[in-house]
Amino acid sequence: MTTEEARDLVQKHTLELGEHFESVRVFVTRASPEEHHDTQAIDNGTGNFYAQLGQIKEWLEIQEEYQRLWAAEHNKPEEE
């Protein structure tokens, strides 16, 4: 699949989801078919941009907090 075909596929599914939801933002990655050892990132969205942005920010904050809690739990000094 070419890069253009991949972008078209992501856009197609974004629009299909957009028929059922207020806002949609889709992120995908894959090994780039044109460049060896590179990762290609594609994103597409529809609907309320500020709702998309808010959802992304909220998701990032939650994931970062999970990481902090996990690190705190797994990096405790061992009790003797």
Q: What pLDDT does 80 receive?
A: 60
Domain ranges of the chain: 3-74
Q: Which residues of the chain have pLDDT under 70?
A: 35, 80
Name every residue whose Cβ is closer than 8 Å to that of residue 56 and which is 6 or more positions away in sequence.
25
According to the model, what pLDDT value does residue 49 have? 96
pTM score over 0.85: no
Q: Coil, helix or strand for 34?
A: coil
CA distances from 32 to 2, 10, 42, 62 (A): 9, 15, 11, 29
Distance in angstroms (rounded) separating the CA atoms of residues 44 and 65:
26
Alpha helices (runs of H) in the chain, residue ranges in sequence order: 3-18, 49-74
